[in-house]
Structures are given as C-alpha cells and as structure tokens.
Structure 1
C-alpha cells in the first residue's frame, strides 16, 4: 500500500492563525478563515516563532476531533505558544513546578480533577448564586448611569462584573481583586503590548505564573488549616482516590478558575454589547421582545468567541477531511472559524438575537466542554436583562480596540456614549 502524500504548503490565509495582531482586525481574520473553509479546510501553518501545526477550520471536523479524546490528546500541546515558551512550560511541568490546568490534561486524570469543582457549576449551584449575580449586574448598570454619558465599557463594566462574580465564588477578599485582574491580563495578554508584563518574553510570562502560584500557595495553606464554605476551600481540600491533589494540580486549578473564569466572560459581554450597538435593529428587537434574551446571549457568545483555539495531538497516524496527519503532529481547532461555518449557520455573518438553533463551539465540545459555561451564560443574561430595558440610547464614542492574541481575547476598549433610565 502506498503512503499518502502529505502536502505541507502554508498559505497566506493560514498565517492569520499564528499572528496575534490578526485577531485585532476582524475583516482580515474572517476573510482569511472563510477562504480556508472553502479552499483548504485543513491546512499546514508554519510561522515562526511557533512550531508548525495543522489548522482545522470546519465545525464538523472540530467536533469529530473533540469527540475522539483517545485519538486526539491535549498533551503535550494544548494551545498555541511560541516554541521557546512551550519548551519552558514543558520543562517546568516535568520538574513538577509548571502550570498544568484542566486544559492541559487528558483522561483519566482530567476526569478526576474536573470532578473537584463540577458541583459548584451545576444547575442548583447556579440557582443559588443567581441572586448575587443579579445584585452585581444592577450595581454595574447603576455605575454606568452614574459615570455617563460616556465610558469605556470594557474597563468600567465588562472586566469588573465577572471578576467580582468568580472571585466571590472562590471566596477571595475584595481587596485582592485588582491583583487577580492584573495577573490575568498579564497572562492572557502576553502578546499584547498594552497588557504584557515587561517585554512579554518567556521570563516575564514565567514571573506572572510565579506570582499566581505564590498567592494561591498561601490561600491553599489557609483553607486547609481553616476550611470555609467556598470554592477555594473545595479546591484546597479536593481529593483523588482519598489523597489531596498535588500542589501543582491545586495551584493550577485556582489559576484556571480565577483567570479564565472571568476573562472569557468579559470578552463575551463586551463583544455582545458591541454587536448590539453596531446592529441597532437587533437591539431594538431585543428591547421589544425581552423573551429573546436566552437566544441573544448565545448569539453574543458565538459572535465574540472569546477562546480562539485549542490544540490536540494525534496519538496515531490518521486523517482529517482526507488530509493525512502523522502520529505526533498537532492540529489547531479554530473556534472562531467554526462559529462562522456556512454549513452550520444560516447567514453566519449576520448577528441575529433570535438565532435558533445556535450550535456554536465557544465552550468547546466533548470531555473538555467549559466547566463554567452555565455561569457565563447566567452572567450575560443577568447583565443584559438589567441593561437593555434601561437603555434610552447608545452609540460608539470612539473606535473599539481588540487585544492581540492567539488564545483568549476580545475587546480591550469599547468607548460608548449612552443614556440610561
């Protein structure tokens, strides 16, 4: 039997997936992704300083890969990192001192670790939390009214509202919230000049992680000595097969909950409001039909797609859409592309608050489906349920600015002019 030919020709369109600045230009990004879906849905991308990978841009292919978590593993390359950073993270993990969150893990360890926090995000827990989330939503819409008629919605509302929700759930003191915010921005903003620490190099990124670990090491010791009724205590005292989680698993759990638990929601909230401002007919429709809030929230999440990609590595020779993928090579799952796939979404470039069905992949799929999806949906629902009826007018007061990223990101500035009841 002849060995199939593997075509490794990197197109200019594929390069956008390894260019952080491309995610600041939606027209360029989506134009390239649409071309890839139509012409090279599985394409080779070789853009230093990243190691090469296969980009997968079709919704159905991404779902198939995420569904087969034995063929496709998160380790050793769960997300796109520069080669130097990737090597440092791997070395630290092998030495037992590196970040190793749920997104880095595979079953059975992933399943066991996930169980530690899953009860905190079940429907009953969400119902119990809703009163607090609604209170915070009102607080921040009231704040908009106080500081109007103009504000930067990202820095005044979209960052702080989900930050307060997730850190309250963890049980952290309010005076520590600004520290967690800065560390999160530095971690996810390592490729954005405004948010990165120092020059954004490997040592700067490692320093951010060390600061996270230092903070959460003290928190773990405190919660083990004096358990409390919060998520931080559940993590600190979480056990697998009767044994406490390792120090690194414990610290990594805190990092992913405290950072991703609010930063991705910030991106969905700000992206959602920007979409409503830029599509006033849909805002008017939502004001007239508040019962559409559930579908509107899903459309905001599809439209913004805060998590741009995850990666998987093949455990054996295989193929995707007829393209051979050798064992040990990695694929990048472009959720941004999947959420505009013409084969799945009718008029995918139309923002439609009544879109139903809406099979977006913003929360991933399969065993790695986002642990906090229900919380994110509730936060968006609470905030826009409070905000939309009170809006008398709203428009852009400047140019929206997006973060340079290849992983998690969205708007970093959204200047608006408005009036509220």
Structure 2
C-alpha cells in the first residue's frame, strides 16, 4: 500500500482496493479530525466534522498520512446496509482470516501486530474478529445467558450493587469527578460480580480496561510502552491483551475444574461439535470482551446521560418524579453518548453504495456516533430528547455483530438511574469535561461536578 507523503486529500493513492476516487476525497482537515485519535478530544469539532460529512460527502474516502485509505460511512442507513451483509462486508477478512483489522489502526501499528502474530491481524479470538458462520458459533456460547429472560434473575444482585454505590456517593459532599469517582466503578463491579471475578481483583481489571481502550490516550500509556513511537498504540494493545491472558488463564482452569453458577463457567465449559473444549484463546477473547466492553461503554453512557440531566434541570426533575421515563432516558443516553465510535469492514466484491462504485479490498470506517446524529433517520438529533419515538439509535451496532451484551447494559443503566435519581436535586459542572483520546471506544474521562443531594 502507498499513500502520498503529505497525506493530502488532493492526491490519489493506490491501495489494495483500487484507486482513490478524486470526487470522493474528503478534505484533509475533516478526515484527520475523524480518523486520528487526537481529533476526538474536541467533541464540538468532531461532531461538526460528522455533520459536514453527512451533508456534503456522506460516503467519502480519506488519505490520512500514516493510515491506509478508508471510506468514512457517516449515514445511519448506509451503516445498517453494510452491517446487515457480513457476507459482502467482512469484519475478519473473509476467506483470508486475519488479513484485515476490524479496528482502525495506523500502518505502523498493523505492521507491529503482524510482526508478533505470524503475519495476522487477528490478535484476539473474539466476536469482533470473526465472520459468520464462525462468528455465529462463538456468539452462541453465551447468547442465552445474555437474553433478558436469564438476566432477570440477576436484577436483585445488580440493584444491591447500585444501592451500595449510591450510598457511598451520598456519604460525600457531592463535589466529585462523576466519571472517576463514581461512574466507572459501578458497571465494573456488576460485570465482575456476574462474571465471578473476586472483588479484590477489580482494581487490576480497571487498570487493564483503561489501558485496553486508552491505547492512544497519553494519560493511559503503560510504563512498558514508548509513548512517542508510531506503533505505541499497537504495542499497548498487545501488552494489555497478554496481561489479560495471564489473569484469565487461572480463571479458565478453575472454572473447568470447579464449575460454578456464573458466566465464566459457561464460557470455560463451552465445547465444539466434536465434544472438545474450544481453544483457550476463545475463552480468553470472550473474557476480555466482557471485562472491557461490558464496563467501559456503560460507564460512558451513564456519565453522558447524567451530564445532560444536569444541563436540563427541568428534565432531571421530570425523570426523578416519574421513574417510568427511565427506560427512555437509557435509550437516549445510549444514542447521545454512542461510546463505540467505529468498527471497520472490508468489501469482498464489487458493490454500489450511495452512487459510489466500491471495489474488493476497500475498507470502511462505520461512524456510529455520526449515524446516531443523522437527521434523515432521527428527528432533531442534536437535542437530548427522552420522548423520542421511535429511538432508532445504533449504539449497539446492527446485524450479526449487534452487541451481545446490550440487554445487560440497559438493565444496569436502568437500575442505576432508578437508584440514583431520587437522591439528586441538581448536578452542576464545576470544571472542564474531558474525553478519552480515542477513535474506537470511549467517552468522558473527567466530569467534575457538584451534586446537591435530596436528603
């Protein structure tokens, strides 16, 4: 693959999917705002870049220096069209498994991953890196556990954890960093409790989760990673995965020898059609996905929703007085925060989308945050509106790759809002809100507030 030395959007470059189409090229500043992790620190500029794409070049190509050329998919309908056709738009590389990365990384990062993984970009045996039918078989391991009917048995336990978290909050003076002092702890405690991980190990899981999703954030750089190197993010990703493996190996072996009534046992005991256990790496991949995505996305949504309630005191009072509105609040918070910012897909055959002729090998960055602000699908998308009917957000994705943990996330959020809001008279920002520097998964990392409690 080659790119121009300047990364300018004015000069086409040759790549595996064909020639960049000059009439499809996105202005360099807009492309960099979305493609580069640092572009996501300024959410006002980021969402303006999304808006510009939707209105001017909804399916356009980038040519950002250091990255392979990709198509940015900014419209809700286009994201859904791609997501519902995994046979045409592959996540894993179709027959050539591991040939593409389902998460956008720079060229040096992908080269590093290949160099330590036998030439493959499939660094994890988890759903993100798989296509059907392999994806379907692996997803089915825990699919029933994540269904609402099964999750209902855990509601009492989750509510106990929410009540405990709220009581600890009420013991403060209300002047807190809502993210660091509150929001990140509750969902981690829930998922680890259901998973079967001891509470004493939660600080380690918290650290690894932040390192896993904070690969491009200077505040989350590991000590064993050179922060200024071009492949630093990939180095951190791999090192964190290895640390997860070291921890989860003990959990896997224990649950195979001593099964318990928890999610870890279901995964550890899963067997292939021939009766043999799945390879250990499949269990590790599941464990990592649940420990990370099951925690970080929920805390980002909780923080984003509370921030908007604080900005709209009348809405806060309304939801506090009418808990039946909380499921609507959860859905709108998910749309608003959209903590999963993108996944990548690659087209495997000639295809026409939005008038563009796409070639095999072309890669696509599905911009879920942008899709969730698409006025063609969502009325008044820049307004936080819990009365939205219907709320067609795609915060959990769409199609076969739709998040397996969506019902658990909604349950956690509903219960926390039910337990927290009766105690909150007001929530006022008292400092700068900061977001995680990432183009993948993340949201607020700092949210200094003063909460006035109802006593």
TM bucket, shorter chain: over 0.9
Distance 1:109 1:405 in 2: 29
Match of 1:321 in 2: 354
Question: Residue 419 of structure 1 aligns to a residue in which SS?
Answer: strand
Counterparts of residues 127-138 of structure 1 (less than 5 Å): 127-138=152-163
Matched, 1:110 2:142: no
**Contact kept? 2:335, 2:372, Cα under 8 Å:** yes
Match of 1:9 in 2: 25
Matched, 1:221 2:253: yes
Cα displacement (A) at 1:95: 7.1
Q: Deviations over 1:195-253 (max 9, x none)?
A: 12134513333221111111111221121122222111111111121221112212111
**Contact kept? 2:212, 2:236, Cα under 8 Å:** no
5+ residue gaps, structure 1: none
**Contact kept? 2:141, 2:267, Cα under 8 Å:** yes
Distance 1:291 1:147 in 2: 28
Match of 1:232 in 2: 264
Match of 1:72 among 53, 67, 89: 89
Match of 2:299 in 1: 266
Matched, 1:42 2:59: yes
Distance 1:92 1:109 in 2: 24
Matched, 1:182 2:197: no
Q: Which has the higher contact order (CA 8 A, sep 6+)?
A: 1
5+ residue gaps, structure 2: 1-17, 93-99
Cα displacement (A) at 1:271: 1.0
Distance 1:24 1:116 in 2: 37
Match of 2:337 among 288, 298, 304: 304
Aligned residue pairs total: 419
**Contact kept? 1:93, 1:100, Cα under 8 Å:** no
Match of 1:167 in 2: 192
Distance 2:117 2:415 in 1: 39
Cα pair distance change 1:125/1:95, threshold 3 Å: farther
Matched, 1:28 2:53: no
Match of 1:399 in 2: 432
Q: Structure 2 length as normaliser, TM-score?
A: 0.89
**Contact kept? 1:282, 1:352, Cα under 8 Å:** no
Q: Structure 1 length as normaliser, TM-score?
A: 0.95
Distance 1:374 1:234 in 2: 18
Q: Deviations over 1:247-284 (max 9, x none)?
A: 22121111111111111111111111111112223212
Q: Deviations over 1:263-316 (max 9, x none)?
A: 111111111111111222321221233221111110000000000001110011
**Contact kept? 2:31, 2:64, Cα under 8 Å:** no
Match of 1:354 among 364, 369, 387: 387
Cα displacement (A) at 1:149: 2.4
Cα pair distance change 1:220/1:355, threshold 3 Å: same
Cα displacement (A) at 1:4: 11
Matched, 1:88 2:112: yes
Match of 2:222 among 168, 180, 197: 197
Match of 1:408 in 2: 441
Question: Residue 380 of structure 1 aligns to a residue in which SS?
Answer: helix
Moved more, 87-96 or 382-391: 87-96
**Contact kept? 1:133, 1:379, Cα under 8 Å:** yes
Counterparts of residues 133-144 of structure 1 (less than 5 Å): 133-144=158-169
Question: Residue 364 of structure 2 aligns to a residue in which SS?
Answer: strand
Cα pair distance change 1:346/1:208, threshold 3 Å: same
**Contact kept? 1:159, 1:266, Cα under 8 Å:** yes
Matched, 1:379 2:395: no
Cα displacement (A) at 1:91: 5.1
Distance 1:311 1:383 in 2: 32
Question: Residue 120 of structure 1 aligns to a residue in which SS?
Answer: coil
Cα displacement (A) at 1:78: 0.9
Match of 1:210 in 2: 242
Cα displacement (A) at 1:93: 4.9
**Contact kept? 1:296, 1:355, Cα under 8 Å:** no
Match of 2:148 in 1: 123
Moved more, 198-207 or 403-412: 198-207
Distance 1:64 1:400 in 2: 35
